[in-house]
Amino acid sequence: MTKVAFIHNSFPAGGAERITIDIARHLSSRGDYEIFVFTTRLADSLMPDDVHKILTIRTIPSQAIQSRRSRHIERFIVANGIDILVSVGKSIYDIDGIRMRTGVKTILACHGEPFWQRHIITHRRQKGLIRRILWHTFNKRRFADGTLAMQMAITRTMKDYLQCDAYTVLCDSYRSELITALDIDPTDNHIHVIENPERPVDQVCYEKEKMILFCGRLENWSKRVDRLLRIWSTIQHQLPDWRLVIVGNGPANEMLREMAKELKLERISFEGRKRDVAHYYRKASIVCLTSETEGWPLALTEAQAQGCIGVAFGATSGIKEILSPHGECGFIVPRFNERAYADTLIHIAHLNEKEEYSIRRKSVEKRLQYAPHIIAEKWRVLFDSLSNHHA
């Protein structure tokens, strides 16, 4: 029996946690894997009914005191006989020491684009009064062109890469970006490509409403929903039969609601966070992302599985892979060109029935290539390559 533990800050919370559940469902059915989750915050109200049957949950301290958190992780590794530890998104304090003392194999699963840290590095230097003062008097000049933040992100990523037995990325282009930036041997590395899975939809609804949908966390440093509001303000009178629906919650919620009032937006609704978002995907004709950074956005893959037409800025390779070929499985807009984005939405709204159906059907067919059992098998192959039980 191979024992695998995934580390999440909150569980379940979003896409990364949903993926862990999909992997657990597949591997637990095989009978030779036992799946654990180590997490700080449990959201019982969001827990699927079968979760406790397919995995075991252990509670660990928050990252506020990293050494205490790491001690608990190590204790659980030993007590539960964990063979493989998967850190989702972020590295673990003293991971080298944990590996040495326990013999556990470690995987760092990057759920964003490579060097995503550069965005948060810049963002955090502007949080709080003192940091904002320092930003405008000193840091803004240092970080203006993004070079310094990228250098810091590359340094962090190299450290993470060297401290794990396997490093996973979400598409081949991300693997190439890492190999080039870290200057590592393309034939001798432990970077593995494993895409995010998407569950097939039994009965896809192709009869859509005239609804443009955003579904995700309202966090402006990454999701940049403010761009979508500005775009809607330029086209709302050209699309009088259409409406914009925002599903989700987060720190930018109040700011976005105020912005909608200032822009005098019509036919817009803020729905808040919903447990069942499939209801919205079944209705929505178009699903939009206007993000600054994304890894392999599940909002787009869920939309495609439901027959929606996805639109996003071509900010990352993951977005381009999901929506390509452009015009056949979705629409990729030049980076952060809001006028081009607005024109794209108008173009989609005026597609004829045959063109529209073709895009919806091809999107659904593309998502079938990433069904959970297919992606979970890629994880199984990786686990088997690391586990002493399958030597």
Residue 373 DSSP SS3? helix
Q: What is the DSSP string of 210-241?
A: SEEEEES---TTTT-HHHHHHHHHHHTTT-TT
pLDDT of residue 391: 43
User: What are 106's two structure tokens?
Assistant: 């470690």
- Cα three-residue angle 48-49-52, rounded to 5 degrees: 95
Alpha helices in 55-212 (DSSP H): 66-80, 95-102, 117-124, 129-134, 140-143, 147-162, 172-182
Taking only the tens place, the pLDDT of each residue in 336-382 is: 999 999 999 999 999 999 999 999 999 999 999 999 999 999 999 99
Q: Residue 311 in contact with residue 331, Cβ under 8 Å?
A: yes
Instruction: Tell me if domain 2-111+164-197+371-390 and domain 211-370 are identical in fold.
Output: yes
pLDDT of residue 89: 85
Alpha helices in 236-330 (DSSP H): 253-262, 278-283, 298-305, 317-323
All residues at 6 or more sequence positions from 156 whose CB lies less than 8 Å from its CB, including other chains? 91, 117
Strand order in the sheet with 309-313: 268-272, 243-247, 211-215, 286-289, 309-313, 331-333
Please return the burial class of 88, using the count of CB atoms within 10 Å of its CB with bins 0-12, 13-18 and 19+. buried
All residues at 6 or more sequence positions from 212 whose CB lies less than 8 Å from its CB, including other chains? 232, 242, 243, 244, 245, 284, 285, 286, 287, 288, 345
* Residue 276 CB neighbours (<10 A): 7
**Tokens 């301290």 — which residue?**
61
At 213, the pLDDT band (50, 70, 90 cuts) reads very high
pLDDT at 390 over 50: no
CA separation for the pair 236, 225 (Å, rounded): 16
Taking only the tens place, the pLDDT of each residue in 78-121 is: 999 999 999 998 889 999 999 999 999 999 999 899 998 888 88
* Residue 101 CB neighbours (<10 A): 12
- Residue 286 pairs with which residues in a beta bridge? 212, 309
CA separation for the pair 51, 23 (Å, rounded): 12
Which amino acid appears at position 266 of this protein?
E
Give residue limits of the domains in the chain: 2-111+164-197+371-390, 211-370
Of 130-144, 172-186, 255-269, least confident by mean pLDDT is: 130-144
CA separation for the pair 172, 165 (Å, rounded): 19
**Structure letter (DSSP) for residue 135:** I
User: Backbone phi, then psi, for 136, in 5-degree steps?
Assistant: -75, -25
pLDDT at 132 over 80: no
* Class level of CATH domain 2-111+164-197+371-390: alpha beta
At 388, the pLDDT band (50, 70, 90 cuts) reads low
End-to-end CA distance of the chain: 13
At 194, the pLDDT band (50, 70, 90 cuts) reads very high
Q: Residue 177 in contact with residue 318, Cβ under 8 Å?
A: no
pLDDT of residue 7: 95
User: What are 101's two structure tokens?
Assistant: 């003392």
- Cα three-residue angle 46-216-236, rounded to 5 degrees: 140
How far lies 335's CA from each of 18, 146, 188, 212, 256, in Å?
Answer: 28, 16, 33, 20, 21
At 36, the pLDDT band (50, 70, 90 cuts) reads very high
Q: What is the CATH number of domain 211-370?
A: 3.40.50.2000
